[in-house]
Amino acid sequence: MSDHSCKDPNCNCNCHEPLENAGVKKGAHDSTRRDFLKYVGVGAVGLGLGPAITYWLQDEGKIQEIVKNPALASGKAQRFTFLHTADLHGQLDIHDEFFWENGKPVYKKRGGFATLKTMIEELKKENPLNTLLIDGGDCFQGSGVASLTEGRGIVPVANMLNYDLVLPGNWEVAYGKQMMIHDMNSYTAAKVCANMFHSDDLTHDLLFPPYQIFNMGGIRVGFIGYNDPLTPVRQSPDYSKGIRFTKPEKDLAKYVKILREEKGCTLVFVVSHMGLSQQVHLARLECSEGVDYILGADTHERVRKPIETKYTKVTEPGAFGSFISKLDIVIEDGKIKDESYQLLDVDPEKYPEDEEVKQMITRVKRPIKKILNEVIGQTKTTLERYYIIETPMDNLITDAVMWKFKTDIAVSNGFRFCPPLVPDPKTGLADITHNYLWSMLPVNSEVKTADVKGKQIWNWLEKELENAFSPDPRKRFGGWFVRYNGMSVVFTIGNEKGKRVQEVCIKDQPIDLEKTYTMVACERDGDPDNMLCRMPNVHNACRQNVMLHDVLIDYLAEFSPVSPKIEGRAVATDAAPTLLTQAIKGIDYEFM
């Protein structure tokens, strides 16, 4: 683990330097949550946690080869282990998880923070003195507990996993700047992010340290952190109010030089939350020279073999706590002599839940247990959101919104988060609870309607396709294609910008570019009044004083059990409806 005896005052090692030194201003305590906080306490600290990075193997032959390395046995070399999780999205419990096997979806029970705790303990036993645990962001957003406590219910449980280093993700800003800082400062781990700055004061300082250094077994290991610079555009603008983001190309080379030359780091990692396409692009740029690995996150990709580029390698460890990546590196005479990477399933059948973590989860849920467990409906088909083009989960959401408001078109954003919900094979049904509703829609937005021209719809669809499939990775938002009801769209992913849409029908009729249509979506906090779901210059925009969660609750009360499925609302001429990942030119990667 990190060497706390480091005396260098300029070394950002894991000494938990007060974040005020990096320009951080702690958020004010929210007294309205006192009833909840008295149950949570100050956040228990337990043993470690982590996903892992290692070459994808059908067996553990490579890691056994490393363990038996003669240089390790003689003490001439040392093995260092890096465990990596990301995009946990507040999923505290064991849940259904999606796998693609033999051309079809398969669902298995995976994850849960208590399972993670046990698994991490076991992994750390393999290399107890030289293991670090890292989280790549989007930890305390994405579930009922996370949303109803603004992240404060998740951090104490995460602390029990004993992270060494954490990075804020794009959804960490969902509760606003001050609450994000409060939640991040509540971690016992060191914080890192080199591209989030204060923009609402005169200092323009970084919110968090740009890099951290750990002393491990006599060598220094440096980490530079980057969040997605597109965060203020991808999400409601108000979430990022007071924060300025910069692109990693601006200063990555500078920090690599500092860590390598001034601080004497033998290993240098980038911990990023920018999505696989942006991370691969960054790895191909000269500024990444000197980076050993980019430990990526955001798009929930399951990288089972590191993606090799000209300057460095890229990994990403899946989502929802269903996986841990494990990277083992052997250093001899200051150089990498061997390395091994694995993406490991967090399997509750293999790793029994840790009782202390289970008790903490129960404690955290206690004030809101009744509302979380309330059943609001049932489904006869699996609710899932892994497909990029169209998903049953979002068809359910847009069905409900269309039913309530009866506009020409109903729209939902192309979210990625939320584990699947699989019906019980005996009853053929699965309960949809308030907790699961919060996982589907972690932001309970107000519904908004507007009038839009056919030409606006066409241009907006082109823009949304560019956001998802642009050949320029820097322009990809990281989400999937927008979802809708009342409209069918045929498009070609591989076409150039502005020429992807082939056909649009509204209410089964070809779109009239001059006609005015009614559209309903949800309000994004901070957008102009004349914008709807990133579509500018709409007319007669009107907030409906109805929240999206209430629409789903009313719909399920009326029509449960529901059975949403993929039905061809969105059709790509050059991709299957089960497309699971954005194409990135020149890499060998498959989502499994």
pLDDT in tens, 529-585: 898 888 899 999 999 999 999 999 999 999 999 999 999 999 999 999 999 988 777
Which H or E run contains 85? Answer: strand 77-85
Q: Give the residue, 74 or 81, on which the prediction is more confident.
A: 81
Q: With beta carbons less than 8 A apart as the criterion, state whether 91 and 111 touch.
A: yes
Nearest Cα to Cα of residue 174 among 89, 270, 273, 299: 89
**Cα–Cα distance between 12 and 222 in angstroms, integer?**
9
Two tokens at 356?
Answer: 């202390």
- Is pLDDT of 35 > 80? no
- CA 245 and chain centroid, separation: 18
Q: Which residue has the tokens 């991808």?
A: 234
Q: Give the residue, 159 or 218, on which the prediction is more confident.
A: 159
Secondary structure (DSSP) of 258-317: IIIIIS-EEEEEEEEES-HHHHHHHHTSGGGTT-SEEE--SS--B-SSPEE-SS-EEE-B
- Is pLDDT of 26 > 60? no
- Give me the residues paired with residue 336 across strands: 331
- Is pLDDT of 47 > 50? no
Q: With beta carbons less than 8 A apart as the criterion, state whether 254 and 276 touch.
A: no
What was the pLDDT predicted at 16? 35
Please tell me the CATH code under which domain 374-572 is placed.
3.90.780.10
**Cα–Cα distance between 563 and 383 in angstroms, integer?**
9
What was the pLDDT predicted at 222? 98
For 47-74, b/e burial (b = at least 16 CB within 10 A) is bbbbbbbbbeeeeeebbeebbebebbee
Band (pLDDT 50/70/90 cuts) for residue 478 is: low
What was the pLDDT predicted at 67? 66
What was the pLDDT predicted at 105? 96
What was the pLDDT predicted at 592? 87
**Cα–Cα distance between 161 and 182 in angstroms, integer?**
19
What was the pLDDT predicted at 51? 30
pLDDT in tens, 317-355: 999 999 999 999 999 999 999 999 999 999 999 999 999
- Is pLDDT of 64 > 60? yes
Task: Find the helix packing angle between 392-405 and 548-559, rounded to 10°.
Answer: 90
What was the pLDDT predicted at 62? 65
Cis peptide before 561 (omega within 30 of 0): yes
Domain pair 19-365 / 374-572, same fold: no
State the pairing for strand pair 335-345/323-332: antiparallel
Per cent of the chain over pLDDT 90 is 77
What was the pLDDT predicted at 78? 94
Write down the architecture of domain 19-365 according to CATH: 4-Layer Sandwich (3.60)
Secondary structure in 3-state letters for 230-262:
CHHHHCCHHHHCCEEECCHHHCHHHHHHHHHHH
Where do the structural domains in the chain lie, given as residue ranges? 19-365, 374-572
**Cα–Cα distance between 374 and 20 in angstroms, integer?**
42
What was the pLDDT predicted at 11? 40
- Rounded to the nearest 5°, which phi and psi values hold at 87? 55, 45
Q: With beta carbons less than 8 A apart as the criterion, state whether 407 and 449 touch.
A: yes
What was the pLDDT predicted at 63? 65
- Is pLDDT of 54 > 50? no
pLDDT in tens, 352-377: 999 999 999 999 999 999 999 999 99
Band (pLDDT 50/70/90 cuts) for residue 44 is: very low
In the structure, how many helices (H) and strands (E) does the chain have?
Answer: 16, 27
**Cα–Cα distance between 292 and 256 in angstroms, integer?**
10
Mean per-residue pLDDT for 146-175? 97
Nearest Cα to Cα of residue 233 among 417, 476, 412: 476
Band (pLDDT 50/70/90 cuts) for residue 202 is: confident
pLDDT in tens, 464-477: 999 889 988 878 87
- The half-sphere exposure of 112 on its side-chain side, counting CA atoms within 13 A, is 26
What was the pLDDT predicted at 27? 33
Angle among Cα 524, 525, 528 to the nearest 5 degrees reads 80
DSSP-derived secondary structure letter, 29 = P
Mean per-residue pLDDT for 43-67? 41
What was the pLDDT predicted at 527? 82
pLDDT in tens, 236-260: 889 999 999 999 999 999 999 999 9
Band (pLDDT 50/70/90 cuts) for residue 427 is: very high
Nearest Cα to Cα of residue 80 among 238, 218, 173: 218
Q: With beta carbons less than 8 A apart as the criterion, state whether 325 and 343 touch.
A: yes
Band (pLDDT 50/70/90 cuts) for residue 184 is: very high
Band (pLDDT 50/70/90 cuts) for residue 60 is: low
Residue 586 burial (CB count, 10 A) = 8
* Helix, strand, coil percent content, the chain, rounded in steps of 5: 30, 25, 45
Looking at every residue in the chain, the average pLDDT score rounds to 88
Mean per-residue pLDDT for 62-83? 78
Q: Which residue has the tokens 């990498």?
A: 336
- 3-class secondary structure, 561: coil
